[in-house]
Structure 1
Amino acid sequence: MILPEIALKKGRQVVGHNIQSWAKQSKVCRGSLDSDIRCYGTERGLATQLREELAKEHVKDLSKQQKAKKEARAIDKDFFMSVLGSSATKREARSYLQRFTPSKDSQLKPKFVDTKPVRGNEVNLGGLYGPTAVEQSPQFIQQPDRIAKLPVESQLHIALVKLRAPQTLDDETLTGIGRTLSQLGRLGLISVVVLDCNVEATPVSGRQSREPDWRQLETAQANRLVAAIDGSGEADARLVDNVIGISESPGAPAYAQTKTHITLRKLLMTPLRRGIIPVIPSVGYTDVSQTAVPVDASDIVLALTKELAGIPSALLPDEDPNDTRDRLRALREEVSLDRLIILDPLGGVPALDRPNGYHVFLNMEQEFEPAKEQLQKVLQENEEEMSLGSESIKRKVTDLAMGNPFSKFAETEFGVAGRSVDAGSLPEIRSKSKTDTWHHLQNLQLVRSVLAMLPPSSSALLTTPEEAANSGKDVPFQAARVGTRRQRNPLIHNLLTDKPVFSSSLPVGRLGPQVVVTEPVSPAESITPTTFAKHGISVTIFPDPRISPWEPPMPGKSHLTLTDSQIDLPRLVHLIEDSFGRKLDVEDYLKRVDGRIAGVIIAGEYEGGALLTWETPPGVEDDGSPESRARMVPYLDKFAVLKRAQGSGGVADLIFKAMVRDCFPDGCVWRSRRNNPVNKWYFERSRGTWKLPGTGWAMFWTTPELSMDKQLFLDYEGVCRGIEPSWADNKAVLD
């Protein structure tokens, strides 16, 4: 009875409280009546007030929604204009979609299979229960014993980005970089950014000298970039400064054979899985004392490459080999490291023998060693100049700045362009040149080391922060030029096309101005200091023009034939037939080119090739005399690329570049059907073209100033008219 009485007492108190509250509300309503506000009851007045407040909130929400939609539309417009400005072809777009579209397996839901429970851990119950009773009894488990199909997550496509000297960039440039990285994420390529604030790096024994407050500098610049990415409104970023470990002694743990390593993979992968861009400063922590120490940014990039590529620093001591294989396979299937992006104020890899001053495309298989030797030579020459007199250095630098058409490279390397050099500034110029060349050499070596650990489909891009911040703005119209057009962002263009902004085989005159100009030049026309690098393929040239230049055949001297042991004739014939889609009359072709072959260029394992011959113009007797040999025309007889390699990998560019720069630098000639779709590609790379009257052929040549020599032009035309095709279908007459 006690409990009901307590409940009755409490109930009365609650009812009394409710009556008092109702009385207070009535007084409020009566007060509003005294204030000449019409109120016909408490409920109606409160409802009216509530409706007004809800209406105001609804208007505010609509305003916020409209504002958010406008901002989203602006972001989408900027994004899609950047994408469309990259001018991806249908083939390139199809290739991009194949690489970055999640597979159907990633969308499968897990399926469960009813299986008998695993009895490996059963308890011995004696004869109390039979085995049938145990198997048929209910089991309380959280998960099925066996899963037939595990959920497969889509593979992450990742780009490693190294940003050097961010403290020298203004907020606008850094904001542009953040916007570009966000757009790459929307296109399916999430970035991992490594900051390199060590502007005091010197080429002296590779030592790194840093300011006393280096850690505060690294953290501040990382926060700047995080804010720039977050401000884009398209992606989020996070400062991750606790994943880099440093081995303190040779007796380091087994998992850390290298000095710089990743301590915990999960700290890196968690934000990536959520679409968050990790920003990593050049800070590491020692394994034992957990002391913060400065780390070279290149070492961090290499450690990240090994981790993301699934390359173990060392094997676990007691792990089963099968488990090791499965674990490494799972790591490699989780991540695809597609790009290495180096944003350096110096831009791409310089090339002193190129009028534009930079390598447009680096085929690392073929061009790494020459590029490295060239930079080392520049570095050595700079050291030698340190011992020369001031006047000698002043004269050399001034001549380079004033007379060299590579003014852009001169400005980068020496800090001067089109101006005289003061003797007092020579030590600073020498130091800057040496340091810049050393940075170029380090970037080149980093690209080589990273690509060596990745599959051939991966690539590297080196450009300036200003180019990376380019969001595709319109440039003003200028008379006598191409007019208004959008700039291409090299990072987005490279992602969509897997190619550089400009083709490496294009003549430099097609890329932009080669000399110092006084009038303003549209940025869209200027040459971007960007280098695109791939592991690439080998290019073999028979005979090697570095040993002896290609010359017209001489009587009594041995010459190259297609039946030579160093040439695989069946594979060469297959290459030609696959590229042209026609059967070759091999016997007739060998008979026609025998004794006339100038050389053969082979790309990779016969993925592409070119066959060039020496042809005698009509009316010239082919007797081997000096006069006859002087009139022989270098002719591109066959230019072929396998269909599966067309439009990708830069195979055609590699062959054409080898032909015009190594084999025939003074020019050659070829012909093509007028309706050949490849003619646009030929037209962009030739010095001139001519539709042969009365024929279905178009003639192309790479010879400089051919129009100044009438006889040479007529010889070219005569050769192109007189060549007889050697196809098995005997279709000599063109469609």
Structure 2
Amino acid sequence: MISHSSSSRHFVAAALSTKRRQTFQAFYATIRGMRNGHEPEEAPPSDNDFIMSILRAKPSLRDAKGYLSSLGIRTKIEPPISSPPAAIPQADIGKNAPSIQTDIVTAQEAPKPAPIVVHILNPVHRRTALVKIQGPFKHHQLDSIAKGLVYLEKLGLVSVIVIENDDQPRGEQGERNAIIEDTMRIVTSLEQHGVRARPVLGAVVRLGPKPGEAASPQEGFVPPEAHTIPSDLVPIRSALRAGEIPVIPPFALDSHCRSVRVDSNDVIAALARGMVEASASHPQHLTDASPENLGDIDLTPLRLMVINREGGVPSYARSGYPHLLINLTSEHSHIEETFRDEWLHSHPTALANLNLAKTCLAYMPPTSSAIMVSHRSSSSLIANLITNKPVVSSSLPHALLQGNRKLTHTTPTLLRRGLPVQVIRSTSELDKAKLTNLLEQSFGKKLEAKPFYDHLEKTLDFVIIAGDYVGAAIVTNEPTPHDSAPISYLDKFAVLPSHQGDGTVDFLWVALHDESYGLGHPFAANPNGGRGGEGEGRDLVWRSRANNPINKWYFERSSGHFRMGDWVLFWCDAESRLKVEEGRRGSAGLPYIADWEEGRLSNWSDVVAKIPSCWRK
């Protein structure tokens, strides 16, 4: 039986409290929204539906902290008083690396001195999400989408919606009226679910590069085809201040100041840049407690959401099922190169949306993410906001991903700006100062540097480095007295605390899979600077303290484990060998212990137990 954590309960309480306290701020919007002199045709979504959507997300402790930090709620999360966490002793995997799912309790911090009206009317700094509704959609489909966006608004994430109609050709007579009609349909659907929405029918972006724009800041990056100036954002800011969701058709001003229909991606990319620049130039709006700023909102987009009919980006590694998590910095070109011709028909806008995400996330904060989701999975937007993670972790064993019922052709794709990933095979290529800093920050201990690097000189197989040493996986070849083949040993797995929760952990583990136990499979041919999937997979072994709270994360990713004193030994079987054995035995299946497994556990435990500690006592 699964019990929902107090972090989930706190999300519910905070979100409902936020919604109630925004009532006065949205007073003008409420009056304005009663356009026809009667109540909405349908009742707003019940709080029970909303609560269940949050509980199904099952946020972890780190998820809770990240959500509350992003939305600015003045709340502090602490471990349960009844069972304080014990100090984590030495472990061979960074103690802070993956997310830890555990129960939490909350305590209100004393509010900072400020006018009382600020605390009554503005308990959170609301954030924005750029949302592309890529239709056309039938009424019930639009109804489902609107319900999801209403839930996000209750959680403090206010949508700035740009619409698109894939079936409306450009240049046809009546095109403009058709687009405006689509805009009003979305406005009506949102208001039927209890929120105020405002159609912004005038162009909010301008075609062409931004005046005085310098060359592209990074190689391979293409700036948006449109731009904004501060006055263009006035209608959007006005709607948000009034508690309304702006709904924008894909119109832009051309060089003759005519409003013309353009690709919605151009509008969204220009807004992503313009909204970030507007917030950077007026940061006082976010902290100033003066009455004129009480209704203001941080325009910097926290999320980019593409809601369409086709779902995420199909992956060659999953027989066309969508990518779960994409590191745009290192995977973008590879995804384009491996995109199959048949997907151009089944997912005709996938690559365009992939490029949109890359452009927008280049301007948005590093913690921001993009999600491509089918209208059939709109409820997943709640989980994405709270956890900022894919529906299923991309670092799980491939066999689990293949058989997971959560994976369908409409599974959402989460995209992050990500980091470059490189594989180093010589200690001479390592920046030892940066690596030492990474290990010490991740483990919270001082490294005995000389014996540690002396050991690497003799045994190093490879080191995977994420970004500028923000994460690392160190694998060594540990000699064995009973076998000519050394043990492939995961000596260290570490991520800087500042990069935990931003996808780096999964990016690093996927690269580790591709360079070790996943070798020999086509789905290991990811662009991580290593062998490209070519080679023979090897069993990967590592150890962790028995009371290390992240062991649950390792249980999910390992083939097996066993207890050896104060330690737990984990391993991942070489997937290529398992595939061969499975094919050879056919319907008989694999035995509990195969012939090739005899004696290997005792061999591993003998060798691993003798590996010396590298930490100062």
Specify if TM > 0.5: yes
Map residues 347-426 of structure 1 onto 2, 5 A cutoff: 347-355=311-319, 357-375=321-339, 378=340, 382=341, 413=342
**In 2: Cα distance, 1:719 partner to 1:492 partner:** 43
SS of equivalent to 1:726 = coil
CA contact (8 A) 1:608 1:655 kept: yes
Report the CA distance shift for 1:693/1:163 in structure 2 as closer, same or farther (over 3 A).
same
User: 1:524-543 deviations in whole A, cap 9, x for unaligned?
Assistant: 56475211111122222113
Map residues 420-569 of structure 1 onto 2, 5 A cutoff: 433-436=343-346, 438-468=348-378, 489-511=379-401, 513=403, 524=406, 526=408, 528-543=410-425, 560-561=426-427, 564=428, 566-569=429-432
**In 2: Cα distance, 1:730 partner to 1:434 partner:** 56
Map residues 569-608 of structure 1 onto 2, 5 A cutoff: 569-608=432-471
Report the CA distance shift for 1:510/1:353 in structure 2 as closer, same or farther (over 3 A).
closer
Is 1:617 matched up with 2:577?
no
Give, in angstroms, the shift of residue 241 of structure 1: 0.9
Report the CA distance shift for 1:293/1:579 in structure 2 as closer, same or farther (over 3 A).
closer
CA contact (8 A) 2:273 2:364 kept: no
CA contact (8 A) 2:201 2:249 kept: yes
Give, in angstroms, the shift of residue 265 of structure 1: 2.3
CA contact (8 A) 1:351 1:357 kept: yes
SS of equivalent to 2:52 = helix
Give, in angstroms, the shift of residue 657 of structure 1: 0.5
Larger Rg: 1
Aligned to 1:391: none
Report the CA distance shift for 1:310/1:730 in structure 2 as closer, same or farther (over 3 A).
closer
Map residues 4-403 of structure 1 onto 2, 5 A cutoff: 75-101=46-72, 107-108=114-115, 155-165=125-135, 167=136, 169-199=137-167, 209=170, 211-233=172-194, 235-244=195-204, 246=206, 261=228, 264-284=232-252, 286=254, 288=256, 290=258, 292-310=259-277, 334-355=298-319, 357-375=321-339, 378=340, 382=341
SS of equivalent to 1:455 = coil
Which one is further off, 89-98 or 580-589? Answer: 580-589
Aligned to 2:549: 677
Give, in angstroms, the shift of residue 286 of structure 1: 5.0
CA contact (8 A) 1:192 1:277 kept: yes
Q: Which has the higher strand share?
A: 2
**In 2: Cα distance, 1:350 partner to 1:596 partner:** 39
**In 1: Cα distance, 2:171 partner to 2:114 partner:** 49
Report the CA distance shift for 1:274/1:718 in structure 2 as closer, same or farther (over 3 A).
same
Which one is further off, 505-514 or 338-347? Answer: 505-514
The amino acid of 1:80's aligned partner reads: I
Report the CA distance shift for 1:535/1:278 in structure 2 as closer, same or farther (over 3 A).
same
CA contact (8 A) 2:545 2:566 kept: no
Map residues 585-734 of structure 1 onto 2, 5 A cutoff: 585-620=448-483, 628=484, 631-646=485-500, 648-665=501-518, 666-667=537-538, 668-686=540-558, 688-692=559-563, 696-704=567-575, 705=578, 709-712=594-597, 714-715=599-600, 717-723=602-608, 724-727=610-613
User: 1:613-651 deviations in whole A, cap 9, x for unaligned?
Assistant: 11233323xxxxxxx3xx2332212212234433x1122
SS of equivalent to 1:219 = helix
User: 1:546-592 deviations in whole A, cap 9, x for unaligned?
Assistant: xxxxxxxxxxxxxx23xx1x212233233333333444433333444
SS of equivalent to 2:599 = helix
SS of equivalent to 2:318 = coil
Give, in angstroms, the shift of residue 341 of structure 1: 0.5
**In 2: Cα distance, 1:574 partner to 1:110 partner:** 45
Report the CA distance shift for 1:339/1:525 in structure 2 as closer, same or farther (over 3 A).
closer
CA contact (8 A) 1:584 1:726 kept: no
**In 2: Cα distance, 1:110 partner to 1:162 partner:** 35
**In 2: Cα distance, 1:288 partner to 1:591 partner:** 69
**In 1: Cα distance, 2:152 partner to 2:460 partner:** 48
CA contact (8 A) 1:617 1:715 kept: no
**In 1: Cα distance, 2:594 partner to 2:480 partner:** 15
User: 1:343-388 deviations in whole A, cap 9, x for unaligned?
Assistant: 122211222133563221111222122223333xx3xxx4xxxxxx
CA contact (8 A) 2:517 2:574 kept: no
The amino acid of 2:462's aligned partner reads: G
The amino acid of 2:546's aligned partner reads: R
CA contact (8 A) 2:311 2:409 kept: no
**In 2: Cα distance, 1:71 partner to 1:229 partner:** 11
**In 1: Cα distance, 2:475 partner to 2:257 partner:** 66
**In 2: Cα distance, 1:644 partner to 1:296 partner:** 37
**In 2: Cα distance, 1:253 partner to 1:92 partner:** 40
Report the CA distance shift for 1:697/1:176 in structure 2 as closer, same or farther (over 3 A).
same
The amino acid of 1:196's aligned partner reads: E
**In 1: Cα distance, 2:181 partner to 2:368 partner:** 32
Report the CA distance shift for 1:602/1:465 in structure 2 as closer, same or farther (over 3 A).
same
Report the CA distance shift for 1:726/1:580 in structure 2 as closer, same or farther (over 3 A).
farther
- TM, length-normalised to structure 1: 0.60
Aligned to 1:27: none
User: 1:8-37 deviations in whole A, cap 9, x for unaligned?
Assistant: xxxxxxxxxxxxxxxxxxxxxxxxxxxxxx
CA contact (8 A) 1:185 1:275 kept: no
Aligned to 1:116: none
The amino acid of 1:496's aligned partner reads: I
**In 1: Cα distance, 2:285 partner to 2:307 partner:** 31
CA contact (8 A) 1:230 1:236 kept: yes
- TM, length-normalised to structure 2: 0.70
Report the CA distance shift for 1:92/1:713 in structure 2 as closer, same or farther (over 3 A).
farther
SS of equivalent to 1:194 = strand
**In 2: Cα distance, 1:638 partner to 1:153 partner:** 42
SS of equivalent to 2:302 = strand
Aligned to 1:136: none
Q: How many residue pairs are counted as aligned between the two chains?
A: 486
**In 2: Cα distance, 1:296 partner to 1:585 partner:** 57
Give the CA RMSD over aligned residues: 3.7
User: 1:648-688 deviations in whole A, cap 9, x for unaligned?
Assistant: 112221111101124442242222233222211111112x2
The amino acid of 1:531's aligned partner reads: T
The amino acid of 2:150's aligned partner reads: S
**In 2: Cα distance, 1:306 partner to 1:604 partner:** 24
Report the CA distance shift for 1:190/1:680 in structure 2 as closer, same or farther (over 3 A).
same
Report the CA distance shift for 1:232/1:106 in structure 2 as closer, same or farther (over 3 A).
farther
CA contact (8 A) 2:128 2:160 kept: yes
The amino acid of 2:613's aligned partner reads: W
Report the CA distance shift for 1:244/1:266 in structure 2 as closer, same or farther (over 3 A).
closer
The amino acid of 2:542's aligned partner reads: W
CA contact (8 A) 1:243 1:267 kept: no
SS of equivalent to 2:330 = helix
SS of equivalent to 1:637 = strand
Report the CA distance shift for 1:607/1:576 in structure 2 as closer, same or farther (over 3 A).
same
Q: Percent identity?
A: 29
Consecutive unaligned residues in structure 1, runs of 5 or more: 1-66, 112-150, 201-207, 313-324, 383-412, 414-432, 469-488, 515-521, 544-559, 621-627
CA contact (8 A) 2:227 2:271 kept: no
